[in-house]
Structure 1
Amino acid sequence: MQSYTSSFFLILAVLIASTTMYSQDFQGQATYFSKSKLELGSWGARMSEAQKKQVQARLKNRLEKTYVLSFNREESHFDEKDKLDAISGATDSWGSNFSPGEQYKNISEGSLVQSQEFYGKLFLVRDKLPTIDWKMGKETKKIGDYLCIKATAQIPTDQLTWYDFSWGQLRNENDESDEESSEVQTDMTEVEAWYTPQIPVGHGPGEYWGLPGLILEVSAGNTIMLCSKIVMNPRERLEIEAPEKGKEITKMEYKETITNKMKEMRDNRGRRRSR
């Protein structure tokens, strides 16, 4: 890592100038590897190291994922590669209900279209791209063959996890409803990103976008996502299209839908136990 210097600005100018080698309709494809830390909380404190390793192994397919981002200047398509459970050989049906689905972003229109499946029902989430207030850093490093610059941001956590659900989240909602104060504190997630001006597009993996270069690495919460491969202008033209199937809904409506369904499941389970 280095701080900005006059020589760095000269290098950066050369890098930006070199982007003219790309035509106006250039395309690219980036592969990302995502890894999350397993948070066991108070439950983990009662487990032995052997038990923790067993849980880690069984949840590996949730904690380690591979994604592919296809992009041109204005559009991108982001989706997870199919990955089988390392132990059972089957897909993780529970985890798939709360995983990000096939995602399309159009940064010129500021729009997002994302396909989400929840317990066999398909939803088509249409919404605006969230504004991210990036703070441009002064550090640089190389990721593969690309010189990258650091940027950071504070992003509302629910903006990053609108497709997800946790029982703890449900308990927090109940606690907030009991409070007399109308002030609700918004949980924020600190995000660190590394982008490269050598690929001058505003795209990035998942919810991240809006920097003056492709985002190659993102750290947020307990998850890090790192680009492991980039192919520019592949021989076969990429089809970058939005998903089309499913009930149209906004992100907020989708979040309410899955939360209400999980409350219903919890209440039904409680009634069966009380009989």
Structure 2
Amino acid sequence: MIRIMILLMMLFVNSLFAQDFQGVAIYQSSSKMDLDIGESAAPSGMKEQLEAMLIKQFQKEYRLDFSIHESIYQEEKQLENPASNQGVKMIVIGSGGGEVLYKNTKESRYVSSNDIFGKQFLIKDTLRKNKWELTNETKKIGNYLCYKATRKVESIEIRNITINGEKEKAKEKKKEQLITAWYTPLIPVSNGPSMYGGLPGLILEVNDGKQTMLCKKIVINPKNKVTIKEPAKGKVVTQERFNEIMNKKIEEMKIHSSHRSGDGGIEIKIGG
């Protein structure tokens, strides 16, 4: 029943929009950190301090320029890193900084431009068709009525933290993670932040258990039309090949840390 209601709503809303329909959505990320540091490895209170710094490090703003079938997603603004002046050095590999993500939902493909280690890569691959479970649960985000959808994914966490030059043994853990998304059929685009999409409406909020992406602002058909241009510069690779290159670089630099579904790694250095 919920699917029929949403489809009817989308058909009605689609009829109100012309083919040149465009929009801009601004998302803000927030993360929950759980550092596995033994009491002997860090001074009293260090874990809480590091968690607070990492949470601030990953508070970012992103901009999604979208039309009916295409979009460009990239970091809009990086908030100040509080760790820079406190003797803590954080190295984030593959965190998405500088990435430009183009998606074409009609052709089920994406292109991601990444500048990693001074080399430009152009990732070209197919959008995954994820199976979402639609529910009747609703809530309002801003002025938009949103519906809840969920899906489960298997994730892998690898942790390794360097403290005072001493590296602990990496720990790997597999677990099933619940992804929760809130989408609105009132904006009839099957899109959302980062690689999220595949729902009958724009995703305004998504949570993967560690990170929440929340839409803070939406402008429909802005006066200054958005430009959606597919990235074209860089060495062309598939997502699988890019992940292999990233993993190799991480091994070479001996940087291991929590990464999930190919999201890169972190190294924390204290006192050095």
What TM-score, normalized to structure 1?
0.76
From the two aligned structures, give the one with the greater strand fraction: 2
2:91 aligned partner, one-letter code:
W
- Decide which of 208, 220, 225 is 2:196's aligned counterpart: 208
Q: Percent identity?
A: 38
- Measure, in 1, the Cα distance between the counterparts of 2:210 and 2:22: 31
SS at match of 1:34: strand
Distance 1:118 1:61, change over 3 A: farther
Q: Which amino acid aligns with 1:154?
A: K
Match of 2:16 among 10, 21, 30: 21
Show CA shifts across 1:200-225 (max 9, x none): 11011111111010000101021111
Contact (CA 8 Å) 2:62, 2:77: kept in 1 or not? no
Residue type at the aligned position of 1:32: Y
Deviations 1:39-64 (A, max 9, x none): 21234796567434432443344321
**Letter of the aligned partner of 2:141 in structure 1?**
I
Assess if the C-alpha contact under 8 Å between 1:61 and 1:83 holds in 2: no
The structure with more radius of gyration: 1
Correspondent of 2:94 among 92, 95, 98? 98
Match of 1:182 in 2: none
| Residue aligned with 1:141, SS | strand
Bigger helix fraction: 1
Q: Contact 1:73–1:201 (CA<8 Å) still a contact in 2? A: yes
Which whole-Å CA distance do the structure 2 matches of 1:12 and 1:106 have between them? 21
Taking a change above 3 Å as real, the CA distance of residues 122 and 93 of structure 1, as seen in their structure-2 partners, is farther
3-state secondary structure, aligned to 1:59: helix
- 1:1-275 equivalences under 5 Å are 17-43=12-38, 50-87=45-82, 88=84, 94-95=91-92, 97-100=93-96, 101-157=99-155, 167=160, 188-266=176-254
The offset of 1:188, in angstroms, is 4.0
Contact residue 150 and residue 180 of structure 2 kept, 8 A: yes
Change (3 A) 1:18 1:124: closer
Superposition RMSD in Å: 3.2
CA–CA distance in 1 between the matches of 2:74 and 2:159? Answer: 22
Structure 2 alignment gaps of length 5 or more? 162-168, 256-272
Instruction: Classify 1:59/1:16 alpha carbon distance in 2 versus 1 (closer, same or farther; 3 Å).
Output: same
